């Protein structure tokens, strides 16, 4: 019904438009025809009236010259008015006064040039004046012919010779009947032409409906069928005109669209198979964080929520799957804000109760106009990788502890030697024949006890370092931690003739990290710097605060600076790869493990500066925390 109404309304609009055009053309033609016919009839009447006026003027002039009797002239005026079918005949003197009239109402009337009837002619220059004009009188429309009566020599007996005219002859001929006849004729013509126009409009409408609208109906039926999914429908091709070419072009367009749709469907299925073949979970979110598309791996991670997650909010989906989402620390939200790739780690418990660690990487999705209209997230199970990294970290930690063993033994030899000396002195006091000096014995005993406490402090610090790290983050005093690690590494550095210095101010902010992990990273960097340095040089630990901005928080960086051999550009690109090392005794795990530990607490590890022969600076970053989320850890506790 709607389709019929649409096309019928189009038909009516076209019919109305054609009718307006046809009748407007006919009306304009009638009007022009009427004006031309009327002007032609009036011109004929004007010519006839002027001829009659000239005959009357000649007759009256002859009568005046021959008889000179005014009563005879008046009789001739009445006679001419009756014989010539004139409305009235007036004879005016040169001053405009009516001297003779066939109409009693005009007798003795004085015409003035300012009257409207006179201004019809006298409003124009003498050269442009007409001898006849149409006037609307009280008794109808008349054609007034004006003939001047010239002053000739024969008239000088009664008229002054200096006058050019003696008077004016006015003949009013009624033309109302003529105009009525013209209008009646044109009306009959208009009625006949209107009937013809209606027949013409009806024929045009039928032809338009037969040759155009019905063919357009086929377009509509086929288009509706294609919209409903029947891509096999085509418009029948008939005739050899513009609509035929349109039918051919429409069918070609449908064929092209069908082929394109098939290719798109095939590519979509190929893309879906490719996404489902990936073990990593992949999900695309719009700007409202609703799921647009997801692969099978992501659906398996979401458990029962997987099959029906399309169109749902990702927070609801993750909550149903038992995955905690911190909106403030959401990588998808941060990606939409900054337009940069964001990463995070989420913990997931599967249906069997096993804990999995998922690395979530959010990347922006851009529309063709350059605006960001969504986010794609890749979920990678890093449980096995984390276990391997933990084992590598433990191996590297033990290797670092082993390298410190010689330094620790050297550090313990000094207090142990002092203890031995004190004990020998006490023994000599006890076995000597001289009297025992209690004060001296007490002094030796106090010195020995002090050295024992010193050994205890050294061994306790060493054991704290060897205990390993805990996975939890805490507030860390990074300056105190750096000084502790420097004390532990200083003995090893002294063996190589290298000194270690920690340069830090008292206003360093606390950072949120893992104390044991910070110790291991700084220890690895100090050992590498010591082994890369020559005897007599210095390794320094300095701290730099990096201000935050709208997309990144404030950070604190610890720079480990050495004056060693430096790193070549080729090696600098690979130093963080596992098992890559240029040292003969190196495992190639120190920087790799340190990088993963730093990223574990939300920081990073990078090469700040290096140049062959001039040394290297490594920087490890810590996110600054202005509020204490856990109790601030002491260096000894965090160790």
86 to each of 73, 170, 344, how far by Cα in Å? 17, 10, 115
Q: Are residues 81 and 154 located together in one domain of the fold?
A: yes
Q: Which pLDDT value is given to residue 172?
A: 79
**Does residue 236 belong to any structural domain of this protein?**
no
Q: Which pLDDT value is given to residue 6?
A: 43
- Residue that is last in its domain, among 381, 414, 437: 381
**Does residue 508 belong to any structural domain of this protein?**
yes
**CA angle, corner 92, sides to 90 and 93, nearest 5?**
160
List CB contacts of 396: < 8 A, sequence separation 6 or more. Answer: 520, 524, 587, 589, 590, 593
Q: Are residues 358 and 502 located together in one domain of the fold?
A: no
Q: Are residues 443 and 542 located together in one domain of the fold?
A: yes
Nearest CA to 52 among 111, 131, 166, 167?
131
Q: DSSP string spanning 446-459?
A: HHHHHHHHHHHHHH
CATH number at residue 457: 3.30.565.10
Strand-by-strand arrangement of the 555-561 sheet: 499-503, 538-546, 555-561, 615-623, 604-611
**Does residue 235 belong to any structural domain of this protein?**
no
Work out how many domains the chain is built from and give that number.
3
**Does residue 211 belong to any structural domain of this protein?**
no
Nearest CA to 401 among 504, 545, 527?
527
**Does residue 530 belong to any structural domain of this protein?**
yes
Token representation of residue 558: 């610890």
- Residue that is last in its domain, among 346, 381, 416: 381
599 to each of 463, 467, 476, 573, 622, how far by Cα in Å? 25, 21, 16, 18, 9
Q: Are residues 519 and 425 located together in one domain of the fold?
A: yes
Separation CA 394–CA 400 (nearest Å): 10
**Alpha-carbon torsion 549, 551, 554, 558, what sign?**
negative
Q: Are residues 395 and 369 located together in one domain of the fold?
A: no
Token representation of residue 512: 């949120």
Report how many helices (DSSP H) and strands (DSSP E) the chain contains, helices first.
16, 17
Q: Are residues 373 and 434 located together in one domain of the fold?
A: no
Separation CA 419–CA 22 (nearest Å): 128
- Residue that is last in its domain, among 322, 356, 381: 381
Alpha helices (runs of H) in 364-514, residue ranges in sequence order = 383-431, 438-466, 478-495
Q: Are residues 377 and 426 located together in one domain of the fold?
A: no
Nearest CA to 518 among 576, 560, 562?
560
Nearest CA to 465 among 413, 393, 517?
517
**CA angle, corner 131, sides to 127 and 133, nearest 5?**
115
For residue 252, report the phi and psi dihedrals to the nearest 5 degrees: -65, -40
Q: Can you tell me whether residue 582 is helix, strand or coil?
A: coil
Site of tokens 């690979």: 574
Q: Are residues 148 and 284 located together in one domain of the fold?
A: no
**Does residue 577 belong to any structural domain of this protein?**
yes
Q: Can you tell me whether residue 145 is helix, strand or coil?
A: strand
- What is the mean pLDDT of each successive set of 10 residues along the chain, which is 639 residues long? 48 72 76 76 74 73 64 69 70 80 78 73 70 74 79 73 79 77 76 78 74 77 84 82 83 86 86 82 86 83 69 75 66 84 79 77 86 86 74 64 57 68 78 76 79 71 55 80 84 84 85 82 87 90 84 85 90 81 68 81 90 92 66 39
**Does residue 509 belong to any structural domain of this protein?**
yes
Q: Are residues 355 and 394 located together in one domain of the fold?
A: no
DSSP conformation class of 151: -
Q: Are 289 and 332 in contact (CB under 8 A)?
A: yes
Q: Which pLDDT value is given to residue 631?
A: 40
Residue 52 structural domain: 2-181
Q: Can you tell me whether residue 141 is helix, strand or coil?
A: strand
Q: Are 361 and 378 in contact (CB under 8 A)?
A: yes
Q: Are residues 483 and 601 located together in one domain of the fold?
A: yes
Strand 474-476 vs strand 355-366: parallel, antiparallel, or unpaired? Answer: unpaired
Q: Are 341 and 377 in contact (CB under 8 A)?
A: no
Q: Which pLDDT value is given to residue 630?
A: 40
Name the β-bridge partners of 146.
Answer: 170
Q: Are residues 48 and 107 located together in one domain of the fold?
A: yes
Site of tokens 């002294």: 494
Site of tokens 């024969």: 154
Q: Are residues 422 and 557 located together in one domain of the fold?
A: yes
**Does residue 198 belong to any structural domain of this protein?**
no
CATH number at residue 157: 3.30.450.20
Q: Which pLDDT value is given to residue 581?
A: 76
Q: Are 377 and 283 in contact (CB under 8 A)?
A: yes
Strand 538-546 vs strand 499-503: parallel, antiparallel, or unpaired? Answer: parallel
């Amino acid at each position: 019904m709607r389709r019929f109404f649409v096309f019928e309304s189009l038909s009516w609009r076209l019919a109305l438009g054609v009718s307006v055009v046809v009748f407007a053309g006919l009306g304009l033609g009638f009007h022009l025809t009427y004006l031309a016919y009327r002007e032609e009839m009036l011109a004929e009447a004007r010519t006839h009236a002027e001829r009659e006026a000239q005959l009357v003027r000649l007759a009256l002039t002859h009568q005046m010259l021959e008889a000179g009797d005014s009563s005879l002239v008046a009789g001739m005026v009445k006679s001419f008015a009756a014989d010539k079918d004139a409305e009235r005949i007036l004879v005016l003197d040169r001053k405009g006064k009516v001297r003779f009239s066939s109409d009693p109402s005009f007798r003795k009337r004085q015409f003035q040039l300012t009257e409207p009837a006179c201004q019809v002619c006298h409003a124009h220059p003498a050269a442009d004046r007409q001898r006849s004009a149409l006037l609307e009188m009280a008794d109808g429309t008349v054609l007034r012919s004006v003939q001047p009566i010239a002053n000739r020599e024969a008239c000088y007996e009664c008229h002054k010779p200096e006058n050019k005219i003696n008077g004016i002859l006015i003949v009013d001929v009624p033309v109302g009947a003529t105009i009525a006849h013209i209008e009646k004729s044109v009306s009959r013509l208009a009625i006949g032409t209107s009937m013809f126009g209606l027949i013409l409009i009806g024929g045009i409408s039928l032809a338009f409906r037969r040759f155009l609208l019905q063919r357009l109906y086929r377009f509509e039926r086929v288009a509706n069928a294609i919209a409903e999914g029947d891509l096999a429908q085509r418009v029948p091709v008939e005739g050899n005109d513009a609509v035929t070419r349109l039918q051919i072009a429409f069918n070609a367009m449908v064929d092209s669209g069908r082929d394109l749709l098939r290719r798109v469907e095939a590519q979509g299925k190929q893309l879906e198979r490719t996404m489902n073949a990936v073990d990593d979970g992949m999900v695309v979110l719009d700007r409202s964080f609703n799921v647009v598309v997801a692969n099978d791996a992501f659906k398996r991670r979401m458990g029962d929520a997987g099959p029906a997650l399309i169109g749902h909010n990702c927070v609801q989906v993750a909550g149903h799957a038992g995955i905690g989402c911190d909106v403030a620390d959401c990588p998808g939200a941060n990606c939409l804000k900054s337009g940069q790739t964001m990463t995070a780690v989420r913990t997931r418990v599967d249906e069997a109760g096993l804990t999995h660690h998922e690395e979530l990487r959010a990347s922006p999705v851009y529309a063709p106009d350059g605006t960001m209209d969504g986010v794609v997230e890749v979920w990678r199970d890093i449980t096995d990788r984390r276990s391997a990294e933990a084992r590598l970290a433990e191996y590297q930690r033990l290797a670092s502890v082993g390298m410190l063993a010689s330094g620790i033994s050297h550090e313990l030899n000094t207090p142990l030697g002092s203890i031995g000396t004190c004990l020998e002195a006490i023994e000599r006091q006890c076995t000597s024949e001289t009297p025992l000096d209690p004060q001296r014995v007490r002094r030796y005993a106090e010195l020995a006890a002090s050295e024992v406490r010193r050994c205890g402090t050294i061994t306790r610090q060493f054991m704290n370092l060897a205990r390993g790290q805990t996975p939890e983050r805490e507030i860390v005093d990074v300056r105190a931690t750096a000084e502790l690690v420097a004390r532990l590494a200083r003995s090893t550095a002294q063996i190589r003739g290298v000194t270690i210095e920690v340069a830090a101010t008292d206003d360093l902010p606390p950072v949120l990290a893992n104390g044991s992990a910070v110790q291991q990273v700084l220890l690895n960097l100090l050992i590498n710097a010591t082994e890369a340095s020559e005897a007599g040089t210095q390794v320094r630990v300095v701290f730099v605060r990096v201000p935050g901005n709208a997309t990144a928080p404030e950070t604190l960086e610890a720079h480990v600076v050495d004056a060693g051999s430096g790193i070549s550009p080729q090696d600098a690109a690979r130093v963080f790869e596992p098992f890559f090392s240029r040292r003969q005794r190196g495992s190639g795990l120190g920087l790799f493990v340190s990088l993963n530990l730093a990223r574990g607490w939300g920081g990073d590890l990078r090469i700040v500066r290096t140049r062959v022969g001039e040394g290297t600076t490594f920087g490890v970053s810590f996110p600054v925390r202005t509020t204490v989320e856990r109790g601030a850890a002491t260096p000894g506790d965090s160790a």
